Amino acid sequence: MDDPAYHRKLGLSKATFERIEDEFSKRYYDGTAYRSLPDYRKNLEKGTVLIADTVVRGFPKIPRTLVLEEGIPRYFGGEFAVEEKMNGYNVRVTRIGGEIYAFTRGGIVCPYTTWKVEADLDLDPFFDEYPGTMLCGEMVGPENPYTPHDYEGIDSLAFRAFDVRDRETGDSLPVSDRRAILDEFDVPQVPFFGLLTPSEAVDEVPRIVDDLDEAGREGIVMKTPHVTQQLKYTTSSANRGNLEFAFSLPFDYGQDFMFRRLIREAFQSVEWNESPDRARERAHALGEAILLPMVDTIENVRDGKTIGEPHTVRGEAEAIEALLEHFRDQGLQLEIETDESVEAGRLVRFVKKTQATKDKTDAYLDGMIVQE
């Protein structure tokens, strides 16, 4: 076999690449072997993929600021673009040897997402013109096998692009070029709020965040015009949504996941200069987001209901079957709740079962004594 010289494509010496090569997991998709990096290593992004003679870079982790007014000027020296941060799952879509692949965050081909982007979008004209790129975006909407969230105007699952990168170097097209090019190819993108200077941002960004919060949307990603730096900030409604979800499965989620979101709320309350009444309203909403889902879950365990993450998916029968098999291959325990024939093929509601919350809650309900 030809040496695909992955090390050169990854910008590593041969010896360095050989040292980390074992960290890649071997996988198969539709008879094609590929490898993906499950974590950050040696300047390589999590989710970096080696497939045939091609390297597909992972999508970089985006840092967060807890305080806009100080964080923005500290991070950005000049103008930056503001886009909506949509709440779904990250995918990189690329074409290799004439085939379209959609990789999730960890660099795994998702058969269902691959089917979905091919069914909804006509990507060949784009990849004919921009071969060697990857289209980065978020899969959003309620009928979602990973991260369901409602968006006005999206009734099932939809792709929203937020970046186009060279898949080998990871370099992005400038934001303004990418906005224009993807419009031209009819690829839907996340909403764009414009270019701002750090001093304009002081008033403008909190206003944008406030409107998004009102609408129950997740937040913003700010990026330099060439996407060399990115910074994210999330709304209170997103923080609460995450907490509701995590506290519905309190023993399956890491406690630092909850803690980080509580901290964000406290800094926002201070930065927003909230009146005592307003701060109290926030506290009330936060308390509900924490306690009510836990109470529900404890009652559900008591009543013998299935505990886990509920999802709905819709699509061609084979794509749905491939998705369910993909999840089972990954060791997930699924409970199929309903499985109907619909116009699009199949509509399946299932639960990804989680064990820790069920077991621990059962034990506490049985009167298990805790030393605390």
- List contacts with ligand ATP (CB under 6 A): 59, 61-62, 83-86, 90, 105, 138, 162, 190, 221, 232
Residue of 206, 310, 359, 212 lying closest to 268 (CA atoms): 206
Of 61 and 284, which CB lies nearer to ligand ATP in the complex structure? 61
Q: How far is the CB of 190 from ligand ATP (least distance, A)?
A: 4
> DSSP letter string over 207-251?
HHHHHHHHTT--EEEEE-TTSS-EEEEE-HHHHHHHHHHHHHSTT
Q: How far is the CB of 301 from ligand ATP (least distance, A)?
A: 27
8 Å CB contact between 293 and 244: yes
Of 114 and 230, which CB lies nearer to ligand ATP in the complex structure? 230
Q: How far is the CB of 160 from ligand ATP (least distance, A)?
A: 7
Reported as type and span, the H/E element at residue 16 is helix 14-20
- Cα 213 to Cα 191: distance, rounded to the nearest angstrom: 15
- Cα 251 to Cα 215: distance, rounded to the nearest angstrom: 30
Q: How far is the CB of 83 from ligand ATP (least distance, A)?
A: 4
Of 57 and 346, which CB lies nearer to ligand ATP in the complex structure? 57
User: Which residue lies nearest ligand ATP, judged by its C-beta?
Assistant: 90
Of 138 and 265, which CB lies nearer to ligand ATP in the complex structure? 138
Each residue of 94-112: b (16+ CB within 10 Å) or e?
bbbeeebbbbbbbbbbbbb
Distance of CA 241 to the CA centre of its chain: 14
Q: How far is the CB of 113 from ligand ATP (least distance, A)?
A: 13
Of 234 and 361, which CB lies nearer to ligand ATP in the complex structure? 234
Of 95 and 261, which CB lies nearer to ligand ATP in the complex structure? 261
CA angle 94, 95, 101 (to 5 degrees): 60
Q: How far is the CB of 306 from ligand ATP (least distance, A)?
A: 26
- Cα 103 to Cα 110: distance, rounded to the nearest angstrom: 6
Of 62 and 363, which CB lies nearer to ligand ATP in the complex structure? 62
Q: How far is the CB of 225 from ligand ATP (least distance, A)?
A: 14
Rounded to 5 degrees, what are φ and ψ at 137?
-165, 180
Rounded to 5 degrees, what are φ and ψ at 24?
-75, 140
